[in-house]
């Protein structure tokens, strides 16, 4: 790989190699000294033009666990407020001597522009409602650890799919790895182009509940207009929320996932979020190992064996 911008055209052998590498790094992270010298001398820049807790911090932790240095850009305290453009900002940070940039931006396609402007690997840390490929990797890693493989699993992605970069990345990664993906949500929260995707669609969560291995819940993205297309949050919860009642109807080995941040009491019940079959915190933990695999792959690190 030269960059990691999208999961849409990632081949199965590439995804599987990244997941195997991530599994190895997950073991590294359990050691008393959770660090290897693989990327010593490299510098990773995190360029987050939108808020983040999980993605930004886990990339920083991943880089440090590989012995890379990190530099961090924050728009609120940067010269963006003086009118500096995205391109000049990227060129400026690059000129300091960074080897890889992780970019999150509200504009779809922004990481592709950086990949044109700069001759270093770019990782998409989330662009608008378009793609969030490392989220899909950590989610597939979490499912693989629980079930052994994604092959033959039935996974429902539930909620605000229209505004979700997480959904777009997961659909392609999960389907490529052999899962059957069902998109579940009201018509107003489903994209019009979903017919071109490797998915089936349902508007009734209760109808599919009992065949699912994984229920992947999405936050309603009010900041992208997701809250304005149904009458009220309580109506949304009544039809699409993972309440305790719905959770009790799932198969005994089925699990619940969520990329965070969660809106407890809306798309996921308080008790469900804290249940042993909620993998939310395992997803966060796996974010570090999955991102180590991506950094290692893109920066051609030394073998860590």
Q: Which stretch binds ligand CP (CB under 6 A): 50-58, 74-82, 112-120, 222-230?
A: 50-58
Q: How far is the CB of 159 from ligand CP (least distance, A)?
A: 14
Based on the shown chain and the rule CB under 6 A, indicate whether residue 53 belongs to the binding site for ligand CP. yes
39 contacts: CB under 8 Å, gap ≥ 6: 63, 66, 67, 68, 295, 296, 299, 301
Q: Which of 69, 260, 275, 277 binds ligand CP (CB under 6 A)?
A: 260
Q: How far is the CB of 187 from ligand CP (least distance, A)?
A: 25
Residues for the chain: how many in total? 305
Q: How far is the CB of 114 from ligand CP (least distance, A)?
A: 18
Based on the shown chain and the rule CB under 6 A, indicate whether residue 226 belongs to the binding site for ligand CP. no
Instruction: Tell me the angle at which helices 165-176 and 12-28 cross, rounded to the nearest 10 degrees.
Output: 100
80 contacts: CB under 8 Å, gap ≥ 6: 49, 89
Based on the shown chain and the rule CB under 6 A, indicate whether residue 55 belongs to the binding site for ligand CP. yes
| Helix or strand (DSSP H, E) at 215 | strand 214-217
Q: How far is Cα 226 from Cα 33, in angstroms, rounded to an integer?
A: 43
Q: How far is the CB of 260 from ligand CP (least distance, A)?
A: 5
Q: How far is Cα 266 from Cα 248, in angstroms, rounded to an integer?
A: 17
- Residues 115-134 close enough to bind ligand CP by CB under 6 A: 126
Q: How far is the CB of 138 from ligand CP (least distance, A)?
A: 9
Q: Tell me which residues touch ligand CP (CB under 6 A).
A: 52-55, 126, 135, 259-260
């Amino acid at each position: 790989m030269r960059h990691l911008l999208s999961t849409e055209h990632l081949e199965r052998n590439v995804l599987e190699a990244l997941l195997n590498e991530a599994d190895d790094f997950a073991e590294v992270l359990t050691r008393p000294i959770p660090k290897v010298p693989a990327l010593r001398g490299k510098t990773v820049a995190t360029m987050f033009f939108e808020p983040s807790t999980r993605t930004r911090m886990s990339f920083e932790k991943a880089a440090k666990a590989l012995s890379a240095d990190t530099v961090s850009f924050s728009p609120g305290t940067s010269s963006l407020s003086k009118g500096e453009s995205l391109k000049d900002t990227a060129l400026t940070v690059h000129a300091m001597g960074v080897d890889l940039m992780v970019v999150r931006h509200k504009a779809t396609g922004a990481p592709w522009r950086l990949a044109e402007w700069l001759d270093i690997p770019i990782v998409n840390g989330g662009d608008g409602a378009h793609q969030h490929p490392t989220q899909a990797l950590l989610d597939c890693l979490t499912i693989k650890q629980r079930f052994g493989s994604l092959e033959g699993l039935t996974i429902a992605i539930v909620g605000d799919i229209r505004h979700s970069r997480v959904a777009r990345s997961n659909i392609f990664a999960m389907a490529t790895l052999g899962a059957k993906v069902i998109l579940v949500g009201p018509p107003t929260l489903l994209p019009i182009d979903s017919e071109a995707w490797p998915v089936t669609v349902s508007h009734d969560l209760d109808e599919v509940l009992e065949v699912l291995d994984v229920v992947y819940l999405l936050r309603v993205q009010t900041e992208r207009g997701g809250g304005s297309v149904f009458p009220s949050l309580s109506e949304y919860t009544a039809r699409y929320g993972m309440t305790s009642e719905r959770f009790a109807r799932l198969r005994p080995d089925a699990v619940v996932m969520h990329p965070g941040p969660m809106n407890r009491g809306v798309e996921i019940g308080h008790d469900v979020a804290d249940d042993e079959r909620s993998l939310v915190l395992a997803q966060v933990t796996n974010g570090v190992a999955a991102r180590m695999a991506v950094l290692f792959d893109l920066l051609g690190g030394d073998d860590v064996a």
